Amino acid sequence: MLLAILLTGAAVAVPTVASAAPAGSDDARIAARASYKPRDSFTATWKRADALKVRSDSTNTSPLIPADFPVMTDDVWIWDTWPMTNVSTNVVTYNGWHVIFSLTAPRNIFFGDRHWQARIGFFYSRDAKSWKYGGDLFPAGYSLGSREWAGSTIVRGNEVQAFYTASGRDNGGVDPTDALQRLATASGKIHADKRHVWFTGFRNHKIIAEPDGQKYQTIEQSQAGPIIYAFRDPFVFRNPDDGRTYILFEGNTGGVAGSYQCKARDLGQLPPGHTVPADARYYTGNIGLLEATSSNLRNWRLLPPILSANCVNQQTERPHLVFRNGKVYLFTISHTFTFAPGLTGPDGVYGFVGPSLRSDYRPLNASALVLGNPPEQRLQQYSHYVMPNLLVESFIDTIFTQPGEQGPVYGGTLAPTLRLDIRGQRSYVVEELDYGYIPATRQTSRQQMVGTS
């Protein structure tokens, strides 16, 4: 156990402020921050001065996972995982079944090679923790790219729309040097009986977004840099403020790698004596935004990023958000090795809070660290996903054993689910639950789902 502890409107770059909370409270401070329309150009910043405050303690560190953890399936490695949701981000069931999606690769290949053979698989369960592997979501030969990377999946009635990263060139084969990434979608139908869940369709794949080279770096621009590149991980949602549908994704600031010049707004109030290494300019992660321009969610407009991590971190993976108590909690995952020189933080999930989708986000806990790996097991788990009920799922990566025992134990299965408590600008990990426990946040039957979102 743990410590207790769609589609119209013009962009006008004029901030709005609203506050109804008691003066001086966290809620009032958050509400008082500037808000902008989603199409505006304002981009919040994860500042270098904030990242310097990253410290692991009992409120933000995952409990140790033993090396004899249970494995969900002997067929495939499992890593990035997300639940089936409606467009309002609620985790839903279908005909009494809980359904999740994971990146998968055959267990007969080396764990480290899984990325280049990734396919989106699905699992289903009656109790939200005893998962049965259902196979690949997409029929063979239809998805774009040469492998399928992470995204999100929404259901309306029995109609399912998947958003994913088309990684690599189309029909490019197994090629770790091919870093091309595009955002794609496809739709199908979900079916279920008393014994199992299955899908049909998913033959209408379409690329919905590529980087423009200005807001978001292209693969060609990235070649001048020494660090990992990104244009991936679409997370779809309806914004309650305007009723429109958007996608968050991971990107990098547009321009040739290394050409970015660190600015005062990227740095913040640095402590005396802190110098910014020259190579920090290569680290330009951001969280991008798309706006739907058609009701079938197959046409999208590229908007400016809502958050940048220039000179702080190169990787803002799997961005997602939670709308809670009139605030927007924005989460992203990152690695130790993607922090810019002179900074560090554990592999884990980092978070920010603001009054609206495009607003002056500030880091939770002053540094943004929400939940990181314990120092004894720095690669223990990764790819955290925070659900509306503040449960956090992730996968087990690598468990290092003691000298004289067997070598590293590779996970490729879901980790224990953790529960967060969030109060204003502070978060705390408060409970450890079962392995892979991903319950619905909205109980929905098949009949109830027809015509709903």
CB atoms within 10 A of CB 155: 22
* Closest residue by Cα to residue 53 from 367, 425, 369, 375: 367
How far apart are alpha carbons 142 and 244 in whole angstroms?
Answer: 29
Strand pairing partners for 290?
A: 247, 302
How far apart are alpha carbons 421 and 438 in whole angstroms?
Answer: 17
CB atoms within 10 A of CB 140: 7
74 Cβ contact list (under 8 Å, min separation 6): 107
Please report the DSSP string for 380-402 in residue order.
SEEEEEE-TTSEEEEEEEEEPPP
How far apart are alpha carbons 73 and 104 in whole angstroms?
Answer: 11
Q: Over the range 307-333, which residues count as b (16 or more CB within 10 Å of their CB) and which as e?
A: bbbbbbbbbbbbbbbbbeeebbbbbbb
C-alpha gyration radius of the chain: 21
How far apart are alpha carbons 343 and 300 in whole angstroms?
Answer: 35
* Closest residue by Cα to residue 227 from 131, 309, 155: 309
Q: Which two tokens stand for residue 314?
A: 């190169």
Per-residue DSSP letter, 87: T
How far apart are alpha carbons 274 and 261 in whole angstroms?
Answer: 17
Contact 374, 61 (CB under 8 A): yes
Per-residue DSSP letter, 447: H
Per-residue DSSP letter, 117: G
Q: Which two tokens stand for residue 299?
A: 């046409």
By annotation, the residues acting in catalysis are 80, 317
Overall residue count recorded for the chain in this entry: 453
Distances in whole angstroms, Cα of residue 244 to Cα of each of 5, 37, 92: 37, 12, 20
